[in-house]
Amino acid sequence: MKKIIALMIGISVTAVCFAQSDPVEGYWISVDDKTNKITAGWLIYQENGKLCGKILSLADKPKGTIASKAKDTYKDFPVSGKINQMEVAGTPWIFGLTKKDTGDWRGGKIIDPADGNIYNCRITFYKADGKKYANDTLEMRAEIGFIGVSQFWRKSDAATAENLWPK
């Protein structure tokens, strides 16, 4: 009996150690849907079972840029303090998404720090297939009701996502 319990514990520990994170997690480069220009480097991550995303660097604004057009506060915002006094980089502008399926998260919010608008948010991962998606791609969809817009973000690495600052 002890051997069976030890074996089951060993299998459980191994499964936890080798469990992979969701493919939406990691470093991404956001791309403007109208101009196709790079806008920011992001880190998408899980915290307390919810999906979040924070900007790491901006392609067109200097370090230390404050989100002055944001509101003081937003319902369920995951960080305390006056949001319109926070730096754009390092603040979780995406929050509260729940997992529908692997690579498919819904029911959260995204705030555009440039204008302070808040939208419903869903994120979907598309694996590179060499056809429609040349690279791993993240669809970030912001919606108000049934009206929305999608941006297709590019997979990145930490060094790139953290260093898009203007030279």
Q: What is the pLDDT of residues 93-118, one digit of tens each?
A: 999 999 999 999 999 999 999 999 99
Domain range for 155: 22-161
Q: Could you give the CA distance from residue 108 to residue 101 in angstroms, rounded to a whole number? A: 15
- Using DSSP bridges, classify how beta strands 147-155 and 137-144 pair: parallel, antiparallel or unpaired: antiparallel
State the CB neighbour count (10 A cutoff) for residue 13.
Answer: 10
- Indicate the average pLDDT of the chain: 90
Query: How many C-alpha atoms does 162 have within 13 Å on its Cβ side?
Result: 4
Q: Could you give the CA distance from residue 124 to residue 135 in angstroms, rounded to a whole number? A: 14
Tokens of 30: 């956001």
In a domain, 151, yes or no: yes
* Residues 4-58: tens digit of each pLDDT: 444 344 444 333 333 459 999 999 999 998 899 999 999 999 999 999 999 999 9
In a domain, 67, yes or no: yes
Bridge partners of 57?
41
In a domain, 14, yes or no: no
Average of per-residue pLDDT across 140-166 = 95
Side chain identity at residue 95, one-letter code: F
**Helix residue ranges, H only, the chain:** 2-18, 158-161
For tokens 């297709």, name the residue.
152
In a domain, 6, yes or no: no
Domain count, the chain: 1
pLDDT, position 20: 55
Bridge partners of 123?
105, 140
Question: SS3 for 48?
Answer: coil
Residue 112's CATH number: 2.40.128.520
In a domain, 36, yes or no: yes
Asked whether the predicted pLDDT for residue 159 surpasses 80, the reply is: yes
